[in-house]
Structure 1
Amino acid sequence: MAEQNSSRGTGSTAGGRSGSFLNDTRVRAVLYQILTIGAVVAIAAYLVNNTLTNLAARDIATGFGFLEREAGFDISESVIGYTPADTYGRVLLAGLMNTLKVSVIGIVLATLLGTIVGIARLSNNWLVAKFASVYVEGLRNIPLLLQLFFWYALIQTALPHPRDALQPLEGFFLSNRGFRFPYPVWETGWTLALVGLALAAVATWWLNRRAGRIQGETGRRPNVIGPAVALFIGLPLALWAVAGAPTAIDVPELTGFNFRGGARVTPEFAALLVGLTLYTAAFIAEIVRGGILAVPYGQTEAAVAIGLRRGLVMRLVLLPQALRVIIPPLTSQYLNLTKNSSLAIAIGYPDLVATANTSINQTGQAVEGVAIIMAVYLTVSLSISAFMNWYNGHIALRGGRK
């Protein structure tokens, strides 16, 4: 009897310990996470296995080996050199560069336009404020795809054919085939000139930082504008001259029903850029307006009281403080513009999605093609977010000081 009671007591104790182990919230939390991860991995493994089985049953090749095969199709424009004899990997790279080109230019233009319109909405001039309000409310509430169709159709119908092209200056032609203009025959001198511009920008940034440090120590700010202008003009010219000072210019000319030579802005690129810029600028304008209104009005009163003009109040007092409110939502708009550029396929601009779609149609490897598109947009979006988060942290107040 004693042994039975002892064994029962031991069992009861073990059961109690087991129950207390499962009742621990931390243990349950870890257990639930393990079970959730296991379920996700199992579902993913099932989907991958099912996909590979179906592809094998249809005799469809898998993997990314197709990227090394010849593409065999041309695209209307490319930032980098590309011919139909190049590989699928090359044409996808060309599409990515086209996407980055329109995204970067669109972000810059939308930021400038959105800032101007946002400030205009706060103007004391009734007509300026109402015009800015109509612009914001109108463009924000029209789907972007319809706006792209509108701008593309406008360019195609409002501009003349190449034979009747508008010619504002000698060598410049504007028609429904795009805008053609003279362009230097690219040689080493022009590459070095661009390097000079980049070096001048870095040197100007360093001079500006140095001037700010000296101003904080002495109260006097050294002149930066003069040296900056000299750097931006002198350094590129010097490098251009060292490389032989190339001056050959490729001038466009009409041959048959279209132009050849020079550089061009295609109708597809122009319509996409205008649509993305105007649409995104409408949202940025509201972000800028809200950021300015978030600054206490006492800041404006104090600036006016010491004799600052309205323009200086906005530039030196309100915008620097509003920037800390503006940056986080502005990041979202930059991401939206980059992702909205995928609508380029609707008007024939050869961006990443368009080139990948043609590659998928020719190779039948849809899974790999879509995976490449998703990976690229994810990488670009995370890069933009990382940069904007860094900048937001750079301008954030620390301990009551910048």
Structure 2
Amino acid sequence: MKKIDTSMKRKATARQHKAEVMIAGEQLRLRLHDSKLIKDRRYHLRTYPNCFVAQELTDWLIGHKEAPDRATAVRLMQHLMEHDILHQVCDKCSVFRDAKLLYRFRKDDGTFPFNSEVKVFIRGQRLYEQLILGRSTILQVREELGVAYQRSFPGCQMIDWLLQNSEAESRRQGLELCRALLEHGIIQHVSLKHHFFDSALLYQFCINFRRRRRLAELLAESEGDAAGGEGGAERAGPRPPENFTDSPFILRKNLPQGNSNFLSVQPNKEMRVMSSVRRGSWPAQQNTPDAYLPPVPLCSTSLAKCNPKSVLRRRVSWQELLSPGAPFIKRVLTVVGDAVGWGIVVRGPSPCYIQAVDPGGPAAAAGVKVRQFVCQVNGVCVLHLHYRTVTNLIMSGPRTVVLEMMEPLD
């Protein structure tokens, strides 16, 4: 069967990010209507319906913990403007300014660009809601190559469902719809290998349309992609160095007041010191109301850089992990993040592995150990993904993370 090429994966990732921005923008629009921040406003003897004042919105974002400061709030709104979510009422300026200027959501004035890409997104969202609410849903736990996937569906069953619910007139039309959903980053093959086929191959929805988005999360993801180039699970260029510090699980060293050292196995002479940062980042608290914490240092002491050296005794491929009789034992662990993260360091191209565990953190309490390989994150197979992609998956998910691990027997 034809596999997905790298360029298609990159396009799907970009479209998926745009879909996430659209959802976040719509959630923000509804919240602003509920807060009465969007209303008819009069300016220079003319009434502008369904508008908001940029300065008032900036105050609202800071007050509702969506942004730590005004500069970040302006960048968030500029990100929405660049994705055609909102605009200045007169369209005289394409830059969001923190001033007494009127802006409006394009959905409120009928100027939102309903192109083919947006139509596919809306169609995918409607199908997702119908499948989630349906009594006899096809989204179930299924296995492929010995790995279980939550809310997955075979391609042939999806086409059957589309025909039964009058969403497609023929199998060919259903196949074309599903392929469009995959190309736009709404669904994907569970192991990111294949395009959509009318077969028993398993697929999943990439987007949880019901999860509440934090705007800063999308902005950080966008800026990370811009800084890191075309990175991801199938990186075309050389993979990033193992001592990258963009993980939400930061290695700690020499913390005062009785804090335990956060080391992989033992102190390493090759560790280099950098300025202190938090072990976790604010996405870990996204499901907790009013839990935004600015990224202030834990203390004035220094911090060890992540992963100066791999703790693995030998390299292991994902094929070896899945092979029958391999010397590994599978464990399913539930980690509930605390106020500063989950307390682990994930590294490796594929498969990812646990480089370090904070002895006093949530991961250690749940049974996570060094040298374990990460197979699934909340039911999503990550064996073929780079650690940066796995990191983003954990950070953008709920505070409670279900990890399926493979642990060496020796």
**TM-score interval for Structure 1 and Structure 2 normalised by the shorter chain:** under 0.3
TM-score with structure 1 length normalisation?
Answer: 0.25
TM-score with structure 2 length normalisation?
Answer: 0.25
